[in-house]
Homo-oligomer: A and B are copies of this chain.
Amino acid sequence: MHNPEPPFRVPPQTGGFPTAGFPTAGDLAGGDPAAGDALAGYLHARAGDFLRSLRQHEESGSDTEAAALAARSLRMASRRIAGTLHTFRPRLDPVWADGLRAELSWLSGTLAQEYACTVRLTRLLGALARLSGTTGTASTASTADRADGTAERGQLSMGAARAAALLERQLTLARTRAHSTALQALGSARFHAVADAVAVLASEAPVVPAPGTLPTAAGDAERRLLDAVAALPLGRAGHPYNAEALFSGLAGAPAEEAQDAPWHRVRRLLRLHRYALEVLGPQTDPLLRQAGGLLDRHRDAAEAAYAAAGAARTPRIAPATAYALGVLHADQRHEVEAARFAFQEVWQGSSTVRAAL
């Protein structure tokens, strides 16, 4: 394991995160106690989720499905705590918040890899089946429940079958590696330090009194999201079949990454905004969730397209395999464009709804 030196160190004087010395929401007198309660309460609850998931993961034993579910919950709790530490940083000790956030981001990033490989393989095998006309519908499977396409491969054209076998080999290897890396991470001293800090957070959240700042901080998160959305080429995305996502599709990954980056940024900011709303109240905006789901689809399709292009660079593959991977790459870039179109529809729709209220 070659994890970099953690940028976040446990202060030696407390033997843990410097939370004990901070006032918690319960200590706050006057100011904005309800808001302080909301933030501390949210952090307590997510820290509880984190610890519960960790226990479930430890108890899963040889039940790989239970282990995967527990890892997923652990990842979701980590992301929510990290996002909250980021958005509500003004109400927290900034050094402590930044340090724990970086560690939680490392953890959720590490845990995400295995799941991402499964999703990518399922998506690519589903697309190859569709492109070969061996599935009933033209829609792409987006669930990750079945990544084993061996049975279907028999009905694919030779190029498609070889492409499927190549992708299955490469992504299964990547998934196995990601699984080992995740297990190593969960057994590391670095992880145990994070888990200790979250254990403290489950009962004591170091929220500092700063009246009225909770909605302000959430508002700042929303503004960052709106600014990032304003920078998107939504007008262009609103014209179906604009061929934008495949523009320079043969010019290599950097060209595609450059056009995808603003969308990925909005995806992250939308998630932070959603988490901030969760802190402020239990109500969730279904349009926001839908918009986030479309940006997830955008990201998944972009990564699948990238994987197809990468597989095509494998030495000594047959031209028929390369051809199928080219079709697959373009198909997934088309999905990227479709996700942008759908996001734009939902976003403009939600703006219209809000303006009418």
Chain A interfacial positions (CB closer than 8 Å to B):
128, 130-133, 138-140, 156-157, 159-160, 240-244, 246-252, 255, 312, 317-331, 334-335, 337-338, 341-342
| A133 engages B334 (CB within 8 Å) | no
Complexed CA–CA distance, A334 and B338 (Å): 12
| B334 engages A250 (CB within 8 Å) | no
A252, A255, A328: most-surrounded residue (chain B CB, <10 A):
A328
Complexed CA–CA distance, A228 and B255 (Å): 43
| A249 engages B131 (CB within 8 Å) | yes
| B247 engages A338 (CB within 8 Å) | no
- Give the residues in chain B near A240, CB-CB below 8 Å: 240-241, 338, 341
- The one of B323, B329, B338 that contacts A312, using a Cβ cutoff of 8 Å: B323
Complexed CA–CA distance, A156 and B338 (Å): 26
A45 vs chain B, min Cβ distance (A): 39
- Give the residues in chain B near A130, CB-CB below 8 Å: 243, 246-248
- Give the residues in chain B near A244, CB-CB below 8 Å: 138
| A334 engages B246 (CB within 8 Å) | yes
| B334 engages A251 (CB within 8 Å) | no
New contact pairs (16) apart from A241-B335, A312-B323, CB-CB < 8 Å = A130-B246, A130-B247, A131-B246, A131-B247, A132-B248, A159-B250, A241-B342, A243-B335, A246-B331, A249-B327, A322-B326, A323-B326, A323-B329, A325-B326, A326-B328, A327-B330
**Known A159-B250, A322-B320; contact A338-B241, beta-carbon cutoff 8 A:** yes
| B241 engages A131 (CB within 8 Å) | no
A143 vs chain B, min Cβ distance (A): 17
Complexed CA–CA distance, A342 and B242 (Å): 12
- Top 3 A-B pairs ranked by shortest CB distance? A326-B326, A133-B248, A330-B330
Complexed CA–CA distance, A160 and B252 (Å): 11
**Known A133-B255, A138-B242, A250-B156; contact A329-B331, beta-carbon cutoff 8 A:** no
| B322 engages A250 (CB within 8 Å) | no
A235 vs chain B, min Cβ distance (A): 13
The residue in chain B whose Cβ has the minimal distance to the Cβ of A311 is B323
- Give the residues in chain B near A329, CB-CB below 8 Å: 323, 326-327, 330
A262 vs chain B, min Cβ distance (A): 16
Complexed CA–CA distance, A330 and B157 (Å): 16
- Give the residues in chain B near A157, CB-CB below 8 Å: 250-252
A237 vs chain B, min Cβ distance (A): 11
- Give the residues in chain B near A341, CB-CB below 8 Å: 240-241
A260 vs chain B, min Cβ distance (A): 14
Complexed CA–CA distance, A341 and B312 (Å): 31
| B334 engages A241 (CB within 8 Å) | yes
The residue in chain B whose Cβ has the minimal distance to the Cβ of A339 is B241
